[in-house]
């Protein structure tokens, strides 16, 4: 990545870096260094570590100062704002994916769960880089403009309610039925299992989900079930 040609990326982020190397670091995935041993900058995991903390504090402070809701509700709102799916969606809206430095293998895998986490981590790394380059106010403004701005949408569409709870509440309200979950298949060795879980309404198999744990697979099944039934499931 050319340090002199970062203007298009900075324009998308609406922030101009004094130290361009911080932005390059934020955009560098660990896998890139495996193929470019002479690359002069580190990967973005340390920057992501910093950005994650800044993001959580800015969001927490904003919710605390602007809403009088109970702690439990604010916790759910914060989780919906900062989870990987939300952050990856925001990354795609900012359209900076082409600037990410990844291995050839990672670059090809555009629609995987791994890519979702790479994008989410890059958002956090960018926040860390802005904080280091500018100050608290610059990082806070980026978070307000690009992340907290989605709170209204999240609340209106109940995205702060996890898919299992949403599916259960809707099924009970509309059908008087409580969903059940059943493991349909387990594959892989013990250290790397993948579970396939079905969500049922009485005897009806509504949807199937996969995950590396039973809980993850249940959430995926519930999310798919919401889509199948047309019971509101939107993304940022």
Is residue 145 a contact partner of residue 137, using CB atoms and an 8 Å limit? no
Query: Where does CATH 1.10.1520.10 sit in the chain?
Result: 3-156
Residue 4 confidence (pLDDT): 63
pLDDT(180) > 70:
yes
Sequence-distant (≥ 6) Cβ neighbours of residue 14 within 8 angstroms = 142, 145
Domain 3-156 has CATH 1.10.1740.10: no
Q: What is the pLDDT of residues 33-56, one digit of tens each?
A: 999 989 999 999 999 999 999 999
pLDDT(23) > 80:
yes
Q: What is the pLDDT of residues 210-221, one digit of tens each?
A: 988 898 899 999
Give percent of the chain with pLDDT exceeding 70.
Answer: 96
Cα distance between residue 216 and residue 5, in whole Å: 41
**What's the chain's average pLDDT?**
92
> Residues 59, 65, 71, 72: what is their CA dihedral angle, to the nearest 10 degrees?
-50
Average pLDDT over residues 50-78: 96
Q: What is the pLDDT of residues 117-129, one digit of tens each?
A: 999 999 999 999 9
Choose the catalytic residue: 48, 52, 106, 133.
52
Residue 234 confidence (pLDDT): 57
pLDDT(111) > 90:
no
Q: How many Cβ atoms sit within 10 Å of the Cβ of residue 173?
A: 9
Residue 21 confidence (pLDDT): 94
194 given a catalytic annotation? no
The CA-to-CA distance between both ends of the chain, in Å, stands at 29
User: 200-233 burial, b if ≥16 CB within 10 A, otherwise e?
Assistant: bbeeeebbbbbbeeeebbbbbbbbbbbeebeeeb
Query: Where does CATH 3.30.160.20 sit in the chain?
Result: 163-229
* Least-confidence region, from 23-27, 28-32, 51-55, 101-105: 101-105
The DSSP output letter for 110 is: T
Residue 107 confidence (pLDDT): 83
| CATH of segment(s) 163-229 | 3.30.160.20
pTM of the entire predicted model: 0.79
Average pLDDT over residues 78-99: 93
124 given a catalytic annotation? yes
Choose the catalytic residue: 48, 106, 124, 133.
124
């Amino acid at each position: 990545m050319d340090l002199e040609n970062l203007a298009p990326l900075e324009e998308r982020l609406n922030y101009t870096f004094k130290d361009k190397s911080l932005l390059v670091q934020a955009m560098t995935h660990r896998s890139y260094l495996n193929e470019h041993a002479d690359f002069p900058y580190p990967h973005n995991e340390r920057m992501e570590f910093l950005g994650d903390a800044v993001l959580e504090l800015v969001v927490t402070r904003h919710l605390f100062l602007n809403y009088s809701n109970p702690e439990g509700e604010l916790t759910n709102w914060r989780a919906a704002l900062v989870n990987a799916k939300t952050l990856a969606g925001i990354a795609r809206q900012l359209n900076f994916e082409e600037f990410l430095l990844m291995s050839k293998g990672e670059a090809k895998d555009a629609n995987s769960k791994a890519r979702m986490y790479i994008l989410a981590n890059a958002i956090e790394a960018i926040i860390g880089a802005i904080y280091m380059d500018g100050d608290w106010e610059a990082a806070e403004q980026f978070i307000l403009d690009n992340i907290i701005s989605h709170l209204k949408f999240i609340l209106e569409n109940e995205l702060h309610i996890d898919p299992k709870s949403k599916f259960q509440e809707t099924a009970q309200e509309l059908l008087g039925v409580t969903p059940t979950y059943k493991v349909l298949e387990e594959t892989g060795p013990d250290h790397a299992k993948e579970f396939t879980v079905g969500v049922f309404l009485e005897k009806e198999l509504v949807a199937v989900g996969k995950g590396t744990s039973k809980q993850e697979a249940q959430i995926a099944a519930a999310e798919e079930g919401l889509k199948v039934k047309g019971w509101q499931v939107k993304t940022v």
